[in-house]
Structures are given as structure tokens and as C-alpha cells.
Structure 1
Amino acid sequence: MHLQTLPGLFISHGSPMLALNPEQVGPALARLSLNLPRPQAIIVMSAHWESEALELSHAIRPETWHDFRGFPEELYQIRYPAPGHPELAESIIQRLAEAEITAHANSTRPRDHGVWMPLLHMYPEADIPVVEISIPHHFSADQLYQLGQCLAYFREQQILIIGSGSITHNLAELSWSRDTPTPVWAATFSQQIISALKNGDYDKVLQWQTLPYIKQNHPSLEHLAPLFFSMGTGSRFSLVHSSFSMGALGMDIYRFD
């Protein structure tokens, strides 16, 4: 059987409410999945799994974790029962070991909304195995990029690799009223990232400290970190989608081939 090469993706997963109100990004994710060969499996790095050491989910049937509070009850009824893939997790650990990167299997980790939120729109049947990978606290942008480079090999095995975060993520600045204009600091940040990636200037993004309005867009870095990982999976960038939700929450989707 000929296996097709899948891209690496960066997906801004947005508010948990996108499960109930998909806005523009839900249809964009659905279209994206229809345009891709069906994956054999999916590897996701989520902003919502920070860890001391590098870990991978190893459970056969991970629970759906509603890792948020204060939302409508119907949101807590959603399940994403896609199977895990312990064999793939073992293969990843082995490949990382060959690159002298130590990773550990975690068989108890439930599946956070950074994983199931985008996949709910892409593969609603929840029938493709998923392995989640953590973000170690001590990893630099360059190390996350190298991690993506190391795992890019799996794209050739018809495995989809996703970094799930958010291109902007300052929850204190979000607006719950409709039609709130996007602030200059958020729009500028997104535009600068897209421009750098289009020009192949990955170093500009990896040197995140120098990006415009970095602290306003990312008071903490965990939602930008999956982008560094995704960038490592491919050298050809294309913009799949760009929009804003709740004023300042960037909903960009990027593709790396």
C-alpha cells in the first residue's frame, strides 16, 4: 500500500465554545480535512499539556477531558472517543531516543480540549487514532522546532502532525460582545508571523522575544509553543485560514509541507 505524505499543521484551537459555535474556523477545519488524504493516525502537541519531561499519551482509550470551567452544560457532554495508539507512541519514543531526546509514555493522561476541539471539526467520527505529545517547561523554541524536525518522518507514514495552540492568546483582553474590532497589537502580531513564514524567515519566529507586541499577545508562551513544533515539520509554509474571535483571539491555521 502506497502511503501518502501528509503536512504538518498549526491550528489555533480557540475558545471551548467553538465546539458549539464553530464561527469561521470550524468550517475551515472541516474543508482542510476533506482536502487531505485520510490519516492513518494523528500526533498532536497541545498547549494544554505542559510537563517537566517530554511525555506521550500511551492510553488505548483516553478519556475526554473538559479542562475548563464556567461554560454551558452541553459542552461538558461532548466526548471525542478516538482510540489512542500505544504502538505509534512507542515508535515516536524510539525515534526520539535515536536523536538523543528522552521521552516517556504516559498511560493515564486524558485528552484535553487542545486535542479534541480541532479534531471535532476535522474528523467528527473520532475513528482515527490519536497520540498527544507534551510541551516540556524547559524546552526552548529551537528545541521544539528540532522536535518537529525529528517527527517530520512520520508525515511519510500518512500520519498527520498538529501543533494546537493559538496565534494570539491574551484572555484578559478578550471581548464577549459581538463585532468587537481586532486591536492593532493582535492584528500586527499575526501579520508579522505570516509574513516571516511566507518569506521562509523561520528564525524571526523562533526568536520570539523580538516579535512585536509579544507580551500583549502571549503573557505566557504555551499557546505559541506548538507553532515552533509545527514549523519543524516542513519548510514550505502556506496559510490555510486567518481570522479573529472575541476581538483579540487569533484563529490562524498554517500548513507546513
Structure 2
Amino acid sequence: MNHGFERPAGGDAQALVLIAEDEPEIVDILKAYLAREGIRAVWAADGRAALDMHLALKPDLMLLDVRMPCVDGWQVLSEVRARGQTPVIMVTAHDQDIDKLMALRIGADDYVVKPFNPAEVAARVRAVLRRTRRVDFESREVLRVGSLEIDLEAFRVAVVRDDASRHVLNLTLTEFRLLAHLARAPRRVFSRAELIAACLPEGEVLERTVDSHISKLRRKLEDVGVEGVPVSLRGVGYRLEETA
């Protein structure tokens, strides 16, 4: 079966979404609604094909089902996240909070439960793409807070030491947005509601979802020697503070 390995014509300005889903009817509906938004889509019918196509096509975003043949969605998400920062929106019948939190811990950027409104899915895709593909036309902006160097245009975070050594962090898009937002005012405490509004505006998000993303971000910073950042203030929210 040809899953659409040839990247459709139309130029780089048009976004490409990889739909990893084993139900053709759902794929047809999603493709139609994405096309209305001017977004191209290709289809992978199983997890192995999704991983192969992700490497071959470098899509701008992935819509990913959990229950798929060959390799399930959790494994696909984990591998895609290990490769880089491709935004991933989970689309699944799993509607329990524990499933949503698992997806966010692994690195999903959003979570849509079946049965869904296809117009809402298309709107969420468009919102994520708008942020990830937006260019800062004023200037290339780099935020520096202590040892952290946050490149807002390249979506890259590095820890720079006094000896000039650099450690680039492999963050998800949501983790990057949270860190960058905190870095704009490193001594200010941001409430969870403020962080949701600024960094996760696509749909209904639980406040503990922010905690999950922050916890994952903190572990990645600790892995490169940055301890206790961001700082948690019980009952209030988070702040970045200076890093050593």
C-alpha cells in the first residue's frame, strides 16, 4: 500500500500534517477538514509506517492515534519525541485523565478524544502550526537567564557554562513555550492559569497538566546540572529565577 511517501507539491509555505490512524474513514474526514484550512495531509495506517514517514517527510505536525497495528501510539510518540520537537496531537478514544497525563508526560502537545468534532481538531492543528511556524519579524530574539540561553526564533534552549561549554536541551514544544514565557520575567511568579492561557490555549487544559509539563522540564534541566528550576510556590504557581 502506498501511504503517500511523496511529499505533495505546493511549496514550503503550506504545512504538512502526518495522520497516523488505522481507520480510513476517520482519515478521510480529517483530510477534508484540514484541506479547508489549506493544510496538506498524508496518511500512515500503522505505527511503523508513521515512524518511517516521519523520518522521510519531516512533517510540520503529527495527528497520532494510540491503538494502531505494528507499533502503538505511545511508542510512536516516545520515538518521535526522542528525535526532536515535531508537534504531536494525540487523537484517541482513551478519555481517562491518566491517559491524558501519560501522553503529556511522554511529550504530546495536545490531546483530542474520540468521537471528536473534526472542525475543532482542524482548529487545534492550525493553532499549533501558527505558533510553531511563526517568525519573529522584528529581530532574532535570544533570552538569557543565568546559564540558560533561549533562542525564540530557532526554538532552541542551551545551558552555557563558564568554560563556554554548551548543552542543548531536547524540549517538547510545550516545554519550550513554558520555559520561554517564564524567562521573559524570571523573578515574577506565574499562576497555572496564566501559563495555560499563554502556552496551552488550544482547548480545555487541567491545571495539573501544567504541573506535568513543568516536572518534565525540570528533570531535563537537572540532567544537565540546572537544579530546582523552575521554582514551585505551593498554591501560587511557578517562577524561573536565576540559574547558576
TM-score relative to the length of structure 1: 0.26
Between structure 1 and structure 2, the one with the greater Rg is: 2
Please give the TM-score of this superposition, normalised by the length of structure 2. 0.27
